[in-house]
Structure 1
Amino acid sequence: MKMLDVIATSILMTASLTGAGYAQEAPKNLRIGTSLTQMPWGFYDDNQKPTGVDVALCGAIAKQLGSNAEFISLDFKGLIPALQADRFDMVCAAMYITPEREQAIAMVPYIQASQTVVTKKTADIEGLEGLCGRSVSVLQGSGSLKVLQDASSKCEAAGKPAVTIQAFDTQPVAIRALENDSVEGFIATDSLISYYMSKNDSLKKVATGISPTKLGIGFQTNNKALAKLVADALTAMKADGSYDAVLKQWGIESAALK
């Protein structure tokens, strides 16, 4: 065999092996755990199909990897245990990156977020300190719950009544608690609140931009190969504009990770 033929054969074999390795690391069907009760992050449209920021963005990531996205919905608080039990390949559900979560799972940042508190327009509450002695609803297991617990502790440290926290399994139920006057306030991510208020003009923001942090896509700690592939896919999407396009579609361009 001629030397050029040997070189060409070697290149083809290397390319084939590289492609095979990539295919093994990126599953053909990428199982994505999410919570389809969080507008605008994840919810069902009028045809009962999954939609939202996380569905669009993590669906685009799957496409970038050459995988088919399969979204599996659970209550938010059950997502990490289900990931650890291998029910998903990854979790994409507007999940805050916290030291506690990073002890349990690997996380790849994908969006910047902070917290907002809303009340009825007629309420006389202003700022986080105004929540002392008031009742506030929140999603169970969320970063918003931690913010609310810290605010309540500060109330008590200042000799004021604690915040009465009502934590619910889904965002819609937590929001309805405010609408029905079961609580006096509701706390969630800025993006979720802005989306919700665009459809409901009975509320007002009383505190915003609280505790800015990053949201992360979660992986089993022993699946760092997939985490790396997803991080690389996000980098490619930022470069080609598809990442910004998804955020613009949902009106949350300001949440882009720099």
Structure 2
Amino acid sequence: MKIRKLIAASLFACVAAGVADAQERPTHLKIGTSLTQMPWGFYDEDQKPTGVDVALCGAIAQQIGATAEFISLDFKGLIPALQAGRFDMVCAAMYITPEREKTIAMVPYIKASQTVVTKKTSTIEGLDGLCGHSVSVLQGSGSLKVLQQTSATCEAGGKPAVTIQAFDTQPVAIRALENDSVDGFIATDALISFYMTKNDSLKKVATGISPNLLGIGFQTENASLAKLVAESLATMKANGSYDAILKKWGIESAALDAK
């Protein structure tokens, strides 16, 4: 219920703001993303951008009547680059948080939660089992915040803190677990599930953590584009193209209206 209310409030705010800030439809959109996050965004064998975010935001641009150009940066640099005007919007599996909404506008487009994975030989169980262990994570991500909160809870309960190792890209963070440099790795469930299809030496030890919405980001003064994107998402949900994209990537359960 909380997520549904947040979806409605976010969409209403974007549409209402856009009415007062109308502009001509763009014909070309520069979209900031981080092409190091399977299945959200990555390069295919031909070095072309692909993934959930590329497919969804590319389709949104097409629905608006614009071409899409994806610009890849490290995740932590996306919001500063958006604010500097390097691109028109950010589409990169980014959690909607009160802190982010103080600096950018966000339109919800997918539901997400966090998952912790370890080697199958690990004895770690549950989120509280991370106390005293090392865990890798993407720098600047919602997963990092979850890990910081978990570590604080460990210490408040008289247990050792979590040793957090934050990396600039997901592949490097994952590799730290593969190389036994850390005991665990945390990311969105979709990313973990996709990655585990390629590596059978891992197991999930905690899932469904911190369920929230992922949002497409915009400069706060660009309410008209946020409105167009919200309207395009609504159209795509009505005509089935939104659900078709999620189904292709095996994350139907992440749809905004999925139960």
What are the residue-to-residue correspondences of 1:140-155 with 2, within 5 Å?
140-155=139-154
- Residue correspondence of structure 1 range 240-255 to structure 2 within 5 A: 240-255=239-254
How many angstroms does 1:145 deviate by? Answer: 0.2
Aligned-residue sequence identity (percent) comes to 82
Task: Identify the residue that residue 88 of structure 1 maps to in structure 2.
Answer: 87
2 CA distance for matches of 1:57 and 1:229? 14
Which residues of 2 match residues 144-183 of structure 1 at below 5 A? 144-183=143-182
The answer on whether the counterparts of 1:25 and 1:226 sit within 8 Å (CA) in structure 2 is: no
- The residue type paired with residue 231 of structure 1 is A
Q: What are the superposed Cα offsets for residues 26-73 of structure 1, whole Å, 9 maximum, x if unpaired?
A: 321100000000000000000000000000000000000000000000
2:30 aligns with 31
Give a deviation string over 1:132-182, Cα, whole Å, max 9, x none: 000000000000000000000000000000000000000000000000000
Per the alignment, residue 18 of structure 1 pairs with none
- Looking at structure 2, the residues matched to 94 and 190 of structure 1 have their Cα atoms a distance apart, in angstroms, of 11
| 1:25 CA displacement | 3.2
Aligned to 1:67: 66
1:125 aligns with 2:119: no
Equivalent residue for 1:223? 222
Q: Which residue of 1 aligns with 2:135?
A: 136
Q: CA deviation at 1:226?
A: 0.3
1:178-200 alpha-carbon deviations (Å, 9 max, x no partner): 00000000000000000000111
Runs of 5+ in structure 1 lacking a partner? Answer: 1-20
Could you give the per-residue CA deviations for residues 90-126 of structure 1, whole angstroms, max 9, x where no partner exists? 0000000000000010000000000000000000000
Higher relative contact order (CA 8 A, sep 6+): 2
Determine the structure 1 residue equivalent to 2:51.
52
Question: Does structure 1 residue 77 correspond to structure 2 residue 76?
Answer: yes
Quote the residue 1:7 is aligned against: none
Amino acid at match of 1:75: D
> What value does the CA root-mean-square deviation take over the aligned residues?
1.0
- Classify the secondary structure of the residue corresponding to 2:159: coil
- Please give the alpha-carbon distance, in whole angstroms, between the structure 2 residues aligned to 1:46 and 1:110: 27
- Provide the C-alpha distance between the structure 1 equivalents of 2:35 and 2:24, rounded to a whole number of angstroms: 27
How many residue pairs are counted as aligned between the two chains?
237
Q: Matches of 1:200 and 1:59 in 2, distance apart?
A: 29
Supply the distance in 2 between the matched residues of 1:25 and 1:61 (Cα, whole angstroms). 16
SS for the counterpart of 1:95 is strand
Query: Which ranges of structure 2 fall in alignment gaps of 5 or more residues?
Result: 1-20
SS of the residue 2:79 aligns to: helix
Q: TM-score, normalised by structure 1?
A: 0.91
Q: Distance in 1 between matches of 2:24 and 2:181?
A: 48
- TM-score of the superposition, structure 2-length normalised? 0.90
- Contact 1:96-1:216 within 8 A present in 2 as well: yes
- State how 1:185-196 maps to structure 2 within 5 Å: 185-196=184-195
